[in-house]
Structure 1
Amino acid sequence: MKKALEDVMRERRSVRRLEQADGVTREQIERAVALARQAPSAYNAQTSRLVILLQKENQKFWDIVENTLRGVTAEDAFSRTQKKLEGFRGGNGTILFYEDGAEIGKLKQSFPLYADKFGQWAQHNNAILQYAVWLALTGEGLAASLQHYNPLIDAETAREWNIPTSWTLIAQMPFGKAAEQPGPKNLRPMEETVKFFG
């Protein structure tokens, strides 16, 4: 990441219309993901898994999403959906975020006192990783958004890329060059959302 963390946090936005960013290399994406893997996880469990789809594999993924949604979306509404999907398909790639249920199961066995919490903590871990990846991509000058077409696409996606059956799809992050300018970021006043004591 070449920018200061504060700058990257302010620049990170949900950009849904993407196009190919010239000069983006696999090594650049690997570097961003490697940095994001520094994100913490409860018990240092590291149960989150990533699948990174580039070029034709990215196109194939959004074809799966489109074909799946075509079967469950009303015809008059599908053109809007299709337009949105084109915005994701236009980027450089998509990162699929998973949680490994087998690893979570091992944690439950090892720490039975907290067994009912590990699923929830895994979701927290995954969210932190998603944010870290998003910041790292932003630091590389790329735009992204977070999408949730699961569980509709889970089975076909797992078949296409031979995803282990213990992995559960959590989210999808298409990334590339911004082809739209997001509107202003409206934050609630701090005094409505944060309390200080002492």
Structure 2
Amino acid sequence: MSYQAVQQVAEIRRSIYALNKELPLPAAEVAKIVEHAVLHTPSSFNSQSTRVVVLFGAEHEKLWDLTTEALRAIVPAENFAPTEQKLAMFKAAAGSVLFFEDQKVVKGLQEQFPAYAANFPVWAEHTDAMHQYAVWTTLAAAGIGANLQHYNPVIDAAVAKTWNIPADWTLRAQLVFGGIAAPAGEKTFAPLEGRFAVHGL
């Protein structure tokens, strides 16, 4: 495979919000895509601290129902309609991937390598982000749309209770995925000047 092929996949990965339940692949194959990312995404000190839960069908819908309940409790009723519409859009998708970081692993590394203790939480976030990107980009290559959400920590307790999540796992993001009902809009780019530099070429 050429590096250009990898770049082309990176270019088609977009935030797609108009999703439906019609996946171009069987759900089991989608789960295998996520599993592959968990196995092959790098982590600092080979910590492998990222934890992932995939939700399909009614379990996925349950996530967005409990998110709706959690937000209804904190968003004023007169302002809730736009939030409710957004959450309904997520619920209309085929599934969600929940990304966590296992704090027991992070704390263990801090104790084992005290000179780097302050860095391990940061490196764990890097690891989690790489898992998110690996899953999202591979789904894009498979013709599956997705968008990344961050309703943590508002939904953390409900998620932990509903899916029996260990107390040491911290929820970091929710990737909503599904069939593409409408493509993403045109992407704009900030100037590379000030964002990119090369020395010694």
Per the shorter chain, which TM-score range?
A: over 0.9
Contact 1:145 1:173 in 2 (8 A): yes
Asked if structure 2 preserves the Cα contact closer than 8 Å seen for 1:35 and 1:136, the reply is: no
Q: Quote the residue 1:178 is aligned against.
A: 180
Task: Give the one of 97, 100, 103 matched to 2:102.
Answer: 100
Runs of at least 5 residues in structure 2 that lack an aligned partner in the other structure: none
C-alpha separation in 2, matches of 1:33 and 1:51: 9
Paired-residue identity, %: 39
SS of residue paired to 1:182: coil
Tell me whether 1:168 sits opposite 2:170 in the alignment.
Answer: yes
Q: 2:148 aligns with which of 146, 149, 167?
A: 146
Over residues 11-31 of structure 1, what are the superposed CA-to-partner deviations in whole Å (9 max), with x where a residue is unaligned?
111112211124532321122
1: CA distance, partners of 2:85 / 2:197: 42
Cα offsets for 1:59-102 (capped at 9, x unmatched): 11110001111111122221111111111111110000000000
Asked if the contact 1:17/1:84 (under 8 Å) is kept, the reply is no
Matches within 5 A, 1:124-135: 124-135=126-137
Root mean square deviation of aligned Cα: 1.4
Of residues 141-150 and 187-196 in structure 1, the stretch that sits farther from structure 2 once superposed is 187-196
CA apart distance, 1:34: 2.8
The CA deviation at 1:177 is 1.3
How many residues end up aligned between the 2 structures? 196
Query: In the alignment, which residue of structure 1 is the partner of 2:122?
Result: 120
1:7, distance to aligned residue in structure 2 (A)? 1.9
For the 8 Å contact 1:97–1:172, the answer to whether it is kept is: yes
